Amino acid sequence: MSEGTGTAWSRQDVILKANNLKKYYPIRRGVARRIVGQVKAVDGVSFELRKGETLGVVGESGCGKSTLGRLLVQLEAPTEGTVEMEGRIVKPGEEMRRLRRDVQIVFQDPYTSLNPRMTVGDIVAEPLLIHKNELNLKGRERDRVKQLLDQVGLNPEHINRYPHQFSGGQRQRIGIARGIALNPKVLVCDEPVSALDVSVQAQVVNLLERLQRELGLAYVFIAHDLAVVRHISHRVAVMYLGEIVEVGDKNQIYNHPMHPYTQALMSAAPVPDPVLQAKRQRIMLSGDVPSPANPPSGCRFHTRCWKAQPNCVTDPPPLIMRGEGPAAHPASCHYAEEMEVVTG
Ligand code: ADP
Ligand code: MG
């Protein structure tokens, strides 16, 4: 989907592109481990990311956000679809090597994603060494690691310490230093602050914003916290059961949500202002997210949607422009219309 949602970016600025990405995981049963079905974790996702831009990705747990992140950095091969880096489709070989350097990932949990037996220096240097096919940290790389630690607000003298000697926020800074070690152009951040105390979250978000300014990085920022995504993102994509159901500029999504799922998500998020909080209406979503092994027919959201009509059960709605004027942006709902949701 190549939507031009009223921004000043041009096509040349597109750095990373997802073309109809799909990831199906086989479900195996019995002693013969026969394949009896598929989990459609990501099911036809397309978007563009521009240079220096932050694209927020939101949606309930299990809707495929992390799988999408792993596909973008080629930690997993897609079942179908392609990733394009600066206009070139990534295929095994030279482009794959380039993408492995240019697109890096920061994980959610700084407690489990850092090897406890490696020093901070070794953790941050690992991508440098792998890239150069070297085994040991030499003087030049050591200097680079110290510079990286300084850049993310850690004391370069702590290069020989182990992860357990750092706080959660500091550990996430180590993860970020590792993520930027190879001067990537894109950083996929998978819930980078979700495991941290609220007081520390803002510091890490500020660090990411500063690095974006200094290094011209583009972010795919995955999170379920709508307030954090609103703060850091330029554009936002809303995922439901493996699909993007709405995408647009931050203000379009937060001030003019068109898809009932987005409206429900927004209405459930807490608003800091108690007066606003008392005034607003909360849309209750009935039931849980259906299983991605057996997604509902037609519009996948119809089983929980208060607006669903018979055609929603049979016809999948396309992700197309909805709404008028500057609020217009793509949403996949047969009955998409603006609804005022107080989002603080
Ligand atoms: P999110 O990050 O939005 O919570 P995930 O991408 O982690 O969602 O998961 C999407 C769906 O894919 C879930 O139903 C999850 O159980 C399933 N899934 C994720 N990884 C695997 C895997 N390696 N094997 C089988 N199923 C998986
Ligand atoms: Mg996840």
Over residues 137-142, mean pLDDT? 80
Residue 44 and residue 81 in contact, taking contact as beta carbons nearer than 8 Å: yes
CATH number at residue 278: 3.40.50.300
Closest ligand 1 atom number to CA of residue 191: 2
Whole-number Å distance, alpha carbon 192 to ligand 2 midpoint, is 10
Over residues 18-25, mean pLDDT? 98
Q: Is residue 1 part of a domain?
A: no
Closest ligand 1 atom number to CA of residue 293: 14
Distance (Å) of CA 277 to CA 41, 229, 252, 254, 257: 34, 20, 21, 16, 18
223 falls in which pLDDT band (50, 70, 90)? very high
- Measured CA to CA, the distance from residue 192 to residue 196 in angstroms comes to 8
pLDDT tens digits for range 190-205 = 999 999 998 899 999 9
Token pair for residue 15? Answer: 């750095």
**Whole-number mean pLDDT of the chain?**
90
Q: Is residue 104 part of a domain?
A: yes
Q: Is residue 46 part of a domain?
A: yes
Residue 298 and residue 311 in contact, taking contact as beta carbons nearer than 8 Å: yes
Q: Is residue 38 part of a domain?
A: yes
For a pocket test of ligand 1, which of 67, 72, 239, 240 has the largest count of ligand atoms closer than 8 A to its C-beta?
67
State the number of CA atoms in the 13 A half-sphere of 279 facing the CB. 11
- Measured CA to CA, the distance from residue 240 to residue 61 in angstroms comes to 9
User: What is the pLDDT, as a whole number, of residue 344?
Assistant: 58
Long-range residue pairs from 142-145, CB within 8 A, at least 24 positions apart, any chain: 144/181, 145/121, 145/177, 145/181
- Measured CA to CA, the distance from residue 262 to residue 245 in angstroms comes to 8
Closest ligand 1 atom number to CA of residue 63: 3
Question: Is residue 98 over pLDDT 90?
Answer: no
Per DSSP, the residues of 200-229 read HHHHHHHHHHHHHHHH--EEEEE-S-HHHH
Distance of alpha carbon 306 from its chain centroid, rounded?
Answer: 28
Q: Is residue 325 part of a domain?
A: yes
The percentage of residues in the chain with a pLDDT greater than 70, rounded to a whole number, is 93
Residues sharing a CB contact under 8 Å with residue 24, sequence separation 6 or more, in sequence order: 38, 39, 40, 41, 43, 79
Per DSSP, the residues of 296-310 read PSSSTTGGG-TT--H
User: What is the pLDDT, as a whole number, of residue 133?
Assistant: 73
28-42, 44-58, 108-122, 203-217: segment of lowest average pLDDT: 108-122
pLDDT tens digits for range 240-284 = 999 999 999 999 999 999 999 999 998 887 776 777 667 677 777
Give the number of whichever ligand sits closest to the CA of residue 61: 1
Per DSSP, the residues of 4-34 read --S-S--GGGEEEEEEEEEEEEEEEETTTTE
Beta bridge partners of 49: 16
Over residues 119-136, mean pLDDT? 86
User: What is the pLDDT, as a whole number, of residue 6?
Assistant: 44
Give the number of whichever ligand sits closest to the CA of residue 62: 1
Tally of domains in the chain: 1
The candidate with the shortest Cα–Cα distance to 246, out of 308, 344, 336, 342, is 336
Distance (Å) of CA 304 to CA 10, 207, 300, 315: 37, 38, 9, 16
Residues with CB under 6 A from ligand 1: 25, 39, 41, 59, 61-67, 292
pLDDT tens digits for range 329-340 = 999 999 998 776
The percentage of residues in the chain with a pLDDT greater than 90, rounded to a whole number, is 74
- Measured CA to CA, the distance from residue 322 to residue 272 in angstroms comes to 29
Question: Is residue 312 over pLDDT 90?
Answer: yes
Q: Residues within 5 Å of ion ligand 2 by Cβ?
A: 65-66
Q: Whose CA is nearest to atom 14 of ligand 1?
A: 62
Q: Is residue 178 part of a domain?
A: yes
Distance of alpha carbon 29 from its chain centroid, rounded?
Answer: 31
User: What is the pLDDT, as a whole number, of residue 339?
Assistant: 74
Q: Whose CA is nearest to atom 22 of ligand 1?
A: 25
131 falls in which pLDDT band (50, 70, 90)? confident
User: What is the pLDDT, as a whole number, of residue 12?
Assistant: 66
For a pocket test of ligand 1, which of 39, 45, 58, 294 has the largest count of ligand atoms closer than 8 A to its C-beta?
39
Q: Is residue 127 part of a domain?
A: yes
Question: Is residue 110 over pLDDT 80?
Answer: no
Q: Is residue 323 part of a domain?
A: yes
- DSSP letter at 294 equals S
Domain residues for the domain of 77 are 11-331
